[in-house]
Amino acid sequence: MTVELAPQPALAPLAAPRPLIFSGIQPSGIVHLGNDLGAIRNYVMLQYEYEAIYCIVDYHALTSTHDAALLRRRTREMAASLLALGLDPDRCTLFVQSHRPEHTELMWLLTTVTPVSWLERTPTYKDKIANQPDDVNHGLLTYPVLQAADIVIYKASLVPVGKDQAAHLELSREIVRAFNYRYGETFPEPQAVYTSAPVVLGTDGVKKMSKSVGNTIEILASPEEIRKQVMSMVTDTERIKRTDPGRPGVCNVCQLHRFFGDDYEEIWDGEATARTGCVDTKKLLAQRITERYAGARERYAELMAHPADVDGILEAGADRLKPKAAATMAEVKEKMGLR
């Protein structure tokens, strides 16, 4: 399912129960362009149409971060980033995963219907153990079961994510099917919702933009930092001289222009006919990214200056979810013979 990135007018909350959406994001550093174009824009847009729950997944982050102070700081920074980018606590529920302990309790129950072979063959598990060979902890293996628990504890049916989460979503669906088969229809099979930019490439132009690769454009960083990151981008590697025609179809800078103005075809034409050089196209992209996120950058600074307000929003979010989480746990325990 693909959702276009059109700006949405604010809608009045609907009276009838709305389908529930859920998504999670790791507190693993400042948000980057891939997070926003691939997922956060949909979080913002969908909060007007659905009952939306968004979670900062600090338990997941523990599989690769063991620095307590850093994790605490990044959790708050991620909350402030999401609020600055448009999540409205009156329209959605934003909370921190570890504040709702039912997630890990349900995860244990779901592990008992999840064959180990499913987890071992997950491509993200293979990537992660290759990335951190000195820290192949058990959490990396069970990571997708916790992700499934995050989603199904609220019986969410739609999950806005980038394409890199497709394998996790498929595994969540398999776990749901395994559970429903053994214990009777309990959870809906969650479906991924993609934006029109489901995979955003990093500044290297080859790999998915990702904090762990170090190829990000940090959208809430200073204009100077954004400029530095954009100017470091790899363009069309076959365009050697300024007079060589460029190939917008393979140039990541040109591709990103699609999301920053209606004139991208003109920009592509300039490149293809060598009227403009890669440096000019990058400068323009840096300028547009800076302008697009200027308001969010200001809101982020304001929120970070009032950390108690941010923490209050997160606490209220976790409290609001307690009855829903408790109801699912009661139903699941009953079905599994734990009561």
Interacting residues with ligand TYM (CB under 6 A):
22-26, 34-35, 38-39, 57, 60, 147, 150-151, 159, 161-162, 164-165, 168, 198-200, 208-210
Minimum CB separation of residue 208 from ligand TYM in Å reads 4
Residue 282 appears among annotated catalytic residues: no
Please identify, using beta-carbon distances, which residue of 109 and 276 lies nearer to ligand TYM: 109
Radius of gyration of the chain (CA): 21
Residue 241 appears among annotated catalytic residues: no
Q: Which residues are within 8 A (CB) of 218 and not within 5 positions of it... i.e. 6 or more apart?
A: 29, 30, 31, 32, 225, 226, 229
Residue 128 appears among annotated catalytic residues: yes
Burial 20-49 (b: 16+ CB within 10 A, else e): bbbbbbbbbbbbbbbbbbbbbbbbbbbbbe
Minimum CB separation of residue 197 from ligand TYM in Å reads 6
Output the six-digit token pair for 269: 């034409």
How many residues are listed for the chain in this entry? Answer: 339
Please identify, using beta-carbon distances, which residue of 39 and 303 lies nearer to ligand TYM: 39
Please identify, using beta-carbon distances, which residue of 22 and 187 lies nearer to ligand TYM: 22
Alpha helices in 98-193 (DSSP H): 102-111, 116-120, 123-131, 138-152, 166-183
Minimum CB separation of residue 287 from ligand TYM in Å reads 22
Considering the candidates 208, 283, 333, 335, report the single residue annotated as catalytic.
Answer: 208
Instruction: Using alpha carbons, select from 197, 102, 199 the residue that is nearest to residue 155.
Output: 102
Considering the candidates 126, 155, 207, 211, report the single residue annotated as catalytic.
Answer: 211
Minimum CB separation of residue 125 from ligand TYM in Å reads 12
Using N-to-C axis directions, what is the helix angle for 166-183 and 307-336, rounded to 10°? 40
Please identify, using beta-carbon distances, which residue of 186 and 212 lies nearer to ligand TYM: 212
User: Which residues are annotated as catalytic?
Assistant: 128, 208, 211
